[in-house]
Amino acid sequence: MNDLIKNGELKDFHGFEWRAFELDGREADVIFPKDPDPKKRWIWRAEFLNCSFDTVDVEMLNRGYYLVYYRVSDMYGCPESISLMKNFYDFVRAELGLDEKTILFGFSRGGLYSVNFALRYPAIVRALYLDAPVLDIKSWPGGLGIGLGSEREWNECLEIFGLDRSSVLTFRGNPVDRLEELADDGIPVVTVAGDSDRDVPHVENCEHLHRVYAERGLKELYIVKPGCDHHPHSLDDPTPVCDFLCDC
DSSP 83-124: HHHHHHHHHHHHHH---S-EEEEEETTHHHHHHHHHHH-GGG
Residue 21: strand pairing partners: 28
pLDDT for 57-68, tens place per residue? 999 999 999 999
- For the chain, what are the domain ranges? 3-246
Helix (H, G, I), strand (E, B) or coil at 31: strand
Low-confidence ranges of the chain (pLDDT < 70): none
Instruction: Report the pLDDT value the prediction gives residue 3, as an integer from 0 to 100.
Output: 85
From the list 107, 99, 111, 87, the residue with the least C-alpha distance to 182 is: 111
pLDDT for 178-226, tens place per residue? 999 999 999 999 999 999 999 999 999 999 999 999 999 999 999 999 9
Could you tell me how many residues make up the chain?
248
How, if at all, do strands 26-32 and 66-70 pair?
A: antiparallel
**Chosen CATH of 3-246 out of 3.40.50.9100, 1.10.287.3240, 3.40.50.1820, 3.10.20.90:** 3.40.50.1820
